[in-house]
Amino acid sequence: MAGFHARFAHRFGRSEPRERALDYLTGLLAPLEKKNGWTLAEQVGQQRPDGVQRLLNHSDWDEDAVRDDVRDFVVETIGAKDGILIGDDTGFLKKGTKSAGVQRQYTGTAGRTENCQIGTFLAYASSKGRALIDRELYLPKSWTDDRERCRAADIADEVPFATKNEHFKWMLQRAIDAEVPFAWVTADEAYGQVKHLRVWLEERQVAHVLATKVNDTVTTTDGDEVRVDALIAALPHQAWKRISGGRGSHGERIYHWARVALRPVWENGFGHWVLARRSISDPTEIAHYVCYGPVGTRLKDLVKVAAARWAIEESFQVAKGECGLDHYQVRLYRAWYRHITLAMAALAYLTALRAQEAAKGAKAMTSPNLYP
């Protein structure tokens, strides 16, 4: 852990927050039921959480620079040219009205409207592992329209209202600018149904497989606007192929998949498709995707990208269950970013360890000395 911490130790202005950050990371990875200020302080031998609170609220350090260091570490350890960037948001249930961005709003974490904060995240996935590499805190208009309330939570006047889709674009642009190696982008229908996001990606020639709602429309070869479900419904029986989207917690994720090409190949060598995933046990259960990618893209390539969306759900589960992502007790805007960044760092460290163990296991399995 000390070696990992040394990668971004220079981001801290003084030795005290530098050392506190190492203690914080160690505590986040400790087998504690709750990882709040009190328990993290106790884990490193402190009687009170004052030092932990000071680290998050007032100490001099650059949380965005640490975020970038964590992203670079993830790329070094699990990066690959065929990597996939995944966008999604998750909820953090909270009490009261003073924590930055909190209000009653729908969160998929609870599956209902709750008093919570919403964080938007970008994950990176490859065959070597997956981790979170960027984050933004969603501020509802009830906050950005009330600048006095914002100031009380340390939200600067220049911080605007931004949708989760705008957050997604900010994070993708940062990944592009940092030359993160990736081949595809994916996200669920909350993002995929937004056409200006799809246009934004196409303008940058970013290949993507985005889930969308059943009544979304796309432009066909003839220039007509057609619903995605109508295109899929017109496919013949033989168009559907039984393909696994990879292993999940309950075994292989096997579905029937099919696709429809939309428009002639563009001069830049990219094409468009509508992709569909149909349940084997219930053929009426169909999910739809809009896709843009190199013309040589195969059906199984699109399936791989669509299925990779589960990697961010798994990242949330590990980050919350093992790295304290949702265990924080902070109210200030910047403190939220600082805790989340350190939790992402803990997840990146854990991901690297597991990738190393997997590589050792694979090497051992292929060693000729195993079977003398």
Q: Residue 210 carries which side chain, given as an amino acid letter? A: L
CA distance 159 to 141: 12
Give the model's pLDDT for residue 249.
63
For residue 10, the model assigns a pLDDT of 95
Instruction: Summarize the confidence of residues 294-320 as an average pLDDT.
Output: 95
Q: What is the mean pLDDT of residues 302-312?
A: 96
> Could you give the angle at the alpha carbon of 30 between the alpha carbons of 25 and 35, nearest 5°?
75
Strands (E), the chain: 84-93, 103-107, 112-126, 129-137, 184-187, 208-212, 217-219, 225-227, 241-248, 251-261, 270-278, 286-294
Residue 352, phi then psi, degrees to nearest 5: -65, -45
- Higher pLDDT among residues 359 and 137, named by residue: 137
CA 279 to chain centre: 25
Is a pLDDT exceeding 50 seen at residue 371?
no
> Model confidence over 26-76: pLDDT tens digits?
999 999 888 888 788 788 777 687 888 999 999 999 999 999 999 999 999
Decide: 286 and 278 in contact? Cβ < 8 Å. yes
Beta carbons within 10 angstroms of residue 247's beta carbon: 10
Q: What is the pLDDT of residues 142-198, one digit of tens each?
A: 999 999 999 999 999 999 999 999 999 999 999 999 999 999 999 999 999 999 999
Q: How far apart (Å, rounded) are the C-alpha atoms in residues 131 and 11? A: 21
Quick one: pLDDT at residue 267?
63
The predicted pLDDT at position 360 comes to 78
In whole angstroms, give the CA distance from residue 364 to residue 368.
9
Average pLDDT over residues 331-352: 97
What pLDDT was estimated at residue 32? 87
Question: What's the whole-number mean pLDDT along residues 291-302?
Answer: 95
Residue 128: pLDDT above 80?
A: yes
Q: Is 97 helix (H, G, I), strand (E, B) or coil?
A: coil
108: nearest Cα among 100, 118, 95, 98: 118
Which residue, 326, 257, 265, is CA-closest to 292? 265
Give the mean pLDDT of 219-226.
84
What pTM was computed for the model? 0.93
